[in-house]
Amino acid sequence: MAFVALVLLAGGSAWADGRRFALVIGENRGLLTEEHLRFAESDAQRFRDALVEVGGVAPQDVVLLTGATAPQVREALTALSSRMAGGPYERLTVFFSSHAGDGVLHLAGTELPLQELVDFVKAAPVRVGLLVVDACQSGSVTRLKGLRPSELPPTRLEATGVEGRVFISASGADEYAQESDSLGGSYFTHFLVAGLRGAADTSKDGRVTLEEAYAWAWARTIEATFATRGGVQRPAFSVDLRGQGQLVLSEPGAAKARLTLAVEAPGRWLVVAEDSGAVLADVDKPSGPLTLALPPGGYRLKLRTKDGLLERGVTVPAAGGAVVRGEDLERASLVQVAAKGGPESLLVFSLGGGVSSGLVSGLSVQPGVELRFRRDAYLLGPLNQWALALAWRTGTSMDATPFTQHEFELRVGTGHRFAWRRGSVAVGVEVGPLLVLQSLPNDTARTSLGVTGALDLEGRLKVGGPVELFLLGTGGAAVVKKSSGVAVVPRLGATAGVAVSF
């Protein structure tokens, strides 16, 4: 996805009503040939909530439209024009999240030229107009006549008595902005909304200006996408403004529900909603306390340190604030904080005992022990982990001529792991060599080397700190040497044990 924001600040009349309006639109579906987006509609919802909670927009003056076609958007624009006919008013904000290409927005199989939104905001009877477009491949619309492009954040954006416009793009014209599975939204939109809620309040005055919000989101977007498969995103903007003062976008310090991180030292904080698991903020907090305006409810706070993670739960009341101090945090293990496209790299050691079906007649079940090493790291496509397994199995046959058999397996494989806060489920495939040793009653021994392969299904449950319980099921086959030649033998197995993450 690409993120563009066009701020049109028209010179207002001597009088303007303080009322603020907003139209917020999100659509996951583009044209028939385009892959569905995952977070365009939820991004729109989060942006709408921020406008109401900290942006000074009354709930009745914001229209949220999801699953919209181009004709439905035009109807919404017409209806909003009628509502604003008695202006001028203070501000209009239009947010749009969907697919796009070559300056045309793609909405559920229909098309809407971006110029229609630009013209609507230009003509609106408001002192300040803000247009935010979060759309795929919209870098081409950054080339507006008369604007001066730049890849650096603005140093000062004025508002009072201003005439002019500002154009902001979350990616360059030849770059793709990206959605994040872990954040549950596009990178730039996530950081912009978190900035409006207080993360970007670098002046610590309880207000977030356009300059602060964009500069904060600009830096975080570059950092977050620096090592992703989609490549680094470099937000850019074009500006042509005249006037004095600053444009305040939000006032998190005046919000009814607030969370204050009263920890003096700087650090990387993650704020996650308890009920939904949604990431509300991924914040590099500078020195000193930081206040975030959040919806009331329960949250998990995570502070990354050099050797682990500090973690605790907190409830933000509907009215008032919750304060978290350093001594309140509980020591926890370094858990997954997912990056774009998959989980962050972790090394997991597993040890367990189990049983598997035998390879030869007279030896139907073999108990054993398995040591596994797993690395969570994005590889290719849906593959986000690789594994190395060392297994030993033994058993004594019940035939007339009993013998003891030992087996040693070395398997390597890959797969996909689905993770949540309390555990994970992984599916994958593993292959490797199999060494079989047989001891006969007459003190003779037989040795053979084969190959084994299996599909595996593993479930893990966190029990505390870095410790998890796991249950692994495998199904596959082994190619082994028998007295009559080489045979393919089906094999099933199950292992249970303990895993530790590092």
pTM (predicted TM-score): 0.62
Q: Single out the residue of 31, 35, 29, 65 nearest to residue 47, CA to CA.
A: 65
Lowest mean pLDDT among 232-246, 335-349, 402-416, 478-492: 335-349
pLDDT digits (tens, 9 = 90+) for 18-74: 899 999 999 988 888 877 888 889 999 999 999 999 999 999 999 999 988 999 999
| Cβ count near 107 (within 10 Å) | 26
For residue 143, pLDDT over 50 is answered with no
| Cβ count near 276 (within 10 Å) | 10
Structure tokens at 51: 């406008």
Q: Which domains does the chain have, with CATH numbers?
A: 2-244 (3.40.50.1460), 256-332 (2.60.40.10), 347-501 (2.40.160.20)
For residue 141, pLDDT over 50 is answered with no
Alpha carbon 282 to its chain centroid, in Å, reads: 10
Angle at 498 (CA atoms; ends 479, 501), nearest 5 degrees: 100
Query: Which residue did the predictor score with more confidence, 439 or 430?
Result: 430
Res 332: pLDDT = 40
| Cβ count near 71 (within 10 Å) | 11
DSSP 368-390: EEEEEEEEEEEEETTEEEEEEEE
Query: Which residue did the predictor score with more confidence, 243 or 487?
Result: 487
